[in-house]
Each structure stands twice: as structure tokens, then as C-alpha cells.
Structure 1
Amino acid sequence: MKTISIRLEDSIYEELGNMLDEMGQTKQTFYETFTRTALRERSIPFIIKAPLADQSNNNRKIEAFERLEAIRRENKKEIDFNKEREEAMNEKYGIVD
């Protein structure tokens, strides 16, 4: 039998302990069950995925694009992209000296 060591933040360790106590389990049985399930199913027994993108940030990007597109359609003249970029950066980050 092998021994492993895992580092967890104190709060996570205690929260896990409390949850397992409520289930009548120990950390030992938790990790053994996790490992056996992973080996039996040949996969990690839960979904690992990247967090969803901030939708409000995406909406602001779409709105900014739509404003630029409306300006482009209204004005048949050339757009000063450097000026537009500077204004967009100022709107996003504030005016930087």
C-alpha cells in the first residue's frame, strides 16, 4: 500500500471534512472512491471545463462593434481608425496620459 500527501487550503480541508462527516465518510474513503471510479471509468468522474466567458463583457464588445458599423454605414468617407481605437480604449480604460 502506498501513501500520498495532498495540500489543501485550510478552509477547503475543513469544508470537505464537514461534508464527508455528514455523509458518514472519511477522507480516506473519499479519495479511494474517487480513484476507483476514475480507474473503472477511465476518466475523471466529473466534468472539467473552462469557466464561461463574462457575457456582459461580450455584450459590450458587440455593442461597440455595432456602433462602429453604424458609423461606417452612415459615413461614406474614410474612418480614422486610430482615432476610433483611441476613443474605444479611453472608454474601456479611461484616459491615460
Structure 2
Amino acid sequence: MALATFSVRMDESLKRQFDALCSDFGMNATTAFNVFARAVVRERRIPFEIQASDDITRQDGMQAFMALRAQAKENGVQDLTLEEINEEIRKSRYGEETE
């Protein structure tokens, strides 16, 4: 089987940490990347979950909430009660005109 070169750029500190950990496992970085590549091909997926951190999710959620809050204030509906909100939702669902 012919070999190919695969070059990866990464933060120098991360590389040092990765190399040290691979050494603890008894392998080098090349072997670790080969193990990863074989797992991806075999399983036909990334063999671990990739997701955004909770901090980003919370920040995005808070920004969306604050934007909705500002929009409600602009439209003069920031003080609606829960019953009034539910009535607006009901009217919207059933195609009724809102006042």
C-alpha cells in the first residue's frame, strides 16, 4: 500500500500537549491520527460527539431573548399577561384577526 503525507496545522501548545499524551499512550501523533482516520472510515462517522459549548448556547439564547424583549417594547406589548399572550397565540393559530 502506498503511503501519503497528511499535514496538519495546529497551535504549538496544543501540539506539545497532544505529543505528550500520545507518548503516554505508547504511540506518536502519526499513529494517533491513523487510529482516528481508521475509526472514522470504519464507523462512517466522527467517533465522538461534536457540539457547541454551553456558554455559546446561553449567550446566543440571551441575545435572542433580549432582541425579542426590545421588539415587544417597540410594539407596546411588553406588559401582556400570560392569558393575553395565550389569546394572541390562539388567534394566530386559527387565523383570527388580532386587535
Q: Same fold (TM over 0.5)?
A: yes
Q: Structure 2 CA distance, aligned partners of 1:29 and 1:38?
A: 14
Q: Structure 1 CA distance, aligned partners of 2:28 and 2:51?
A: 27
Residues 59-87 of structure 1: per-residue CA shift (max 9 Å, x gap): x74xx58xx643x45xxxxxxxxxxxxxx
2:32 to 26, 30, 33: 30
What residue in structure 2 maps to residue 54 of structure 1? 58
Q: Structure 2 CA distance, aligned partners of 1:10 and 1:51?
A: 23
1:12 and 2:14 equivalent? yes
Matched positions, count: 71
In the TM superposition, what is the alpha-carbon distance from 1:40 to its structure 2 partner? Answer: 0.3
Q: TM-score, normalised by structure 1?
A: 0.56
In the TM superposition, what is the alpha-carbon distance from 1:23 to its structure 2 partner? Answer: 1.4
Residues 34-74 of structure 1: per-residue CA shift (max 9 Å, x gap): 0000000001111122333126x63x74xx58xx643x45x
Q: Which runs of 5+ in 2 are unaligned?
A: 82-99
3-state SS of 1:34 partner: helix
Q: TM-score, normalised by structure 2?
A: 0.55
3-state SS of 1:6 partner: coil
Output the aligned Cα RMSD: 3.0
Q: Which runs of 5+ in 1 are unaligned?
A: 74-97
Q: Percent identity?
A: 26
